[in-house]
Amino acid sequence: MSIENASNSGGGAFHPVPVLVARLFLLLTLSLAFMQPATSLLGFTAVPTDFLFLALMLAWLGALATGRTRFVWDKAYWLLGAYFAAMVASALASDDPARAVPKLLTQVYLLSLAVLACNIVRTSEDLRSALSWWLLGAAAVAAVALISLIAFVIDADSIILDYTRFHFGTLPPGSYPRLRMTFLNANMACNYLTVSLVILFIVWRLGWIARNHFLLLLAGIAIAAAFTLSPGLGGIGLAAALWMWMRKRGSAAAPVLLAAGLFVGLLFVVAMAVTPIAHPTAPFSMHVLGVELYPAGRLMIWMDALRNFLADPLLGRGIGAESVRVPYQSPSGHLQRLTDAHNTFLNIAVQCGLVGLAALLAILGYVWKRSAPFRLSAADPNTARTGLGLAFLIAFAYEGLGGSFEDARHLWVLFGLFLASGRLAEATDPPRHPG
């Protein structure tokens, strides 16, 4: 097996990827939109992406073994290796290492998604195809949202909503739909749609989509995201504002757009933390500007996660361990026992300690550094890299403040696409259809 160094080779110089491998990758990219478990695989719930991953991995390894393609090395793989090594160290230091084995296997899978995307996307046309198939999946999600809303108007108890509606969570119950569409929960759906929105902006900026298709998909993503009623809507607002800020850098409107985006982002973080709705599981209350507020479920979880992290700060409890155990009664009256930190950073910190958190922050720091200077131009090969970096930072880091998205398949594929776009930018391989 031969290896190409991504930092020293141009996109067109790489050994081509076999057609079967390329097509399987596009199908996998499309399948990221369908995350409701379809079946059981060796005792684990599985989604279509999992089966496509197995087929893609076998085809790609076969191509490597027979010399029909070459492995592309990227220096960011060191960061992925450090991240995985931190999880292994945490598992070995835990009281029950065997408990961590299934979780470690899922991490091999997730990190392999990034490596596959980086290896398979080798030209601007490859990147254009991958982003187009991603948006095809987003269009399917938007269509499911529209069908669900029509079904709700006709019959609020429609059988369709049994598959596409999500529970109210921390929201007050009422006669309105909260949708998860094709995902396991509404928050994950919103996270996927946040990434899809930025990808839509990228392909529009690069002239890879017609205006009417852009507007139609923009409306579809906006409507679908709105009815997730997720804290991730702060990410949607932040992404839109920051994209416009990058477009308007140097103009009088730029500071206003930046301030608006940051304000929306902060507002949703505050809304995640406190609530005016009293609940019997609240450990305290507070008065702010004459309004009595209570800690929301997430704030209670974050506080418990922080305590658990401080109890085992270096290597954590062990990958796969429960991050918290917090009783919470939702506004719907359901008493829940929450075990997830609902925060990517706290989840990793509790399970893998400072070592794991440092490895995660190194990945995010790498994306930030490689995405700078956050400027956009239709003719600039950095546009795709900057946009994909922005999508990753918002979906993984910002939305990760209110949800645990470190195991989201679409985010690791996104990371691989980001690495591939960086290789193309360094090779000065510009898009063929500048807008």
**Could you tell me the pTM of the whole model?**
0.94
Question: What pLDDT score does 207 carry?
Answer: 93
Strands 335-338 and 326-329: antiparallel
Query: Which segment of 122-136, 174-188, 220-234, 241-255 scores lowest on mean pLDDT?
Result: 241-255
Closest Cα partner for 186 from 393, 14, 399? 399
Q: Name which residue leads in pLDDT, 168 or 5.
A: 168
Categorize the per-residue pLDDT at 217 as very low, low, confident or very high, splitting at 50, 70 and 90. Answer: very high
Across the chain, mean pLDDT equals: 91
- Domain ranges within the chain, ordered by starting residue: 79-426
Percent of the chain with pLDDT over 70: 92
Query: Which segment of 288-297, 339-348, 367-376 scores lowest on mean pLDDT?
Result: 367-376
Question: What pLDDT score does 297 carry?
Answer: 93
204-214 average pLDDT score: 96
Question: What pLDDT score does 130 carry?
Answer: 98
